[in-house]
Amino acid sequence: MTKFTVNDRPVQYRMEPDTPLLWALRDASNLTGTKYGCGTGDCGACTVDIDGEAVRSCRISLAQCEGRFVTTIEALSTDRSNPVQQAWVAENLPQCGYCQSGMIMAASVLLRKNRAPSDEQIDAAITNICRCGTYPRIRAAIRRAARIMEGQERIAAAPPPGITPEDAARAVPALRGQ
């Protein structure tokens, strides 16, 4: 049994130690914001923050997470007040949206280390793939999030999407019991 921390809560997964973290997050913890794209470490849809680094959760086992601190997209903020989320909404960034959880997690790790990344530094740090080609808007949103973090720009958190957790659970049975 592996023990570590997910979104500030201690967890113990009764799963095989070589199970990829992605499946524990999605199937055991119901943290489905972290997406499965390729399973080979290439696309970055499954990116989470582990001890302050952007990590492909499809390529790290539960055993490798022992004692570490994992943060998923669900824990960035509950009210869209995280500057990266605010910038993403303000730039109207996603198209299909599938890659965006991983992009946001990679961007938040980058901005914690570098508040003024150049386009070259963004491209080097964000190796995630977007099949919809949102890369120019991702660079713009990262620059905007940096301005928000530095207090150079203010954006009110976008309102929630208008669905309560209870309604969401009725619409999506997998959410029941959260």
Q: Which residues bind ligand FES (CB under 6 A)?
A: 36-39, 41-46, 56, 58, 94-100, 130-132, 134
Q: Which is nearer to ligand FES, 109 or 149 (CB)?
A: 109
Least distance to ligand FES from the beta carbon of 121, Å?
A: 20
Least distance to ligand FES from the beta carbon of 157, Å?
A: 21
Q: Which is nearer to ligand FES, 100 or 149 (CB)?
A: 100
Q: Which residues pair with 169 in a beta bridge?
A: none
Q: Which is nearer to ligand FES, 38 or 169 (CB)?
A: 38
Asked if 169 contacts 175 with a C-beta cutoff of 8 angstroms, the reply is yes
State the chain's maximal CA–CA distance in angstroms: 47
Q: Which is nearer to ligand FES, 82 or 100 (CB)?
A: 100
Least distance to ligand FES from the beta carbon of 1, Å?
A: 24
Least distance to ligand FES from the beta carbon of 152, Å?
A: 27
Q: Which is nearer to ligand FES, 36 or 69 (CB)?
A: 36
Find all residues with CB under 8 Å of 86, minimum gap 6, and list them. Answer: 80, 145, 148, 155, 157, 158
- Residue 3: what are its φ and ψ, rounded to 5°? -125, 125
Spatial distance between the Cα atoms of 75 and 146, rounded to a whole number of angstroms = 19
Spatial distance between the Cα atoms of 56 and 58, rounded to a whole number of angstroms = 5
Q: Which residues pair with 70 in a beta bridge?
A: 6, 50
Least distance to ligand FES from the beta carbon of 110, Å?
A: 17
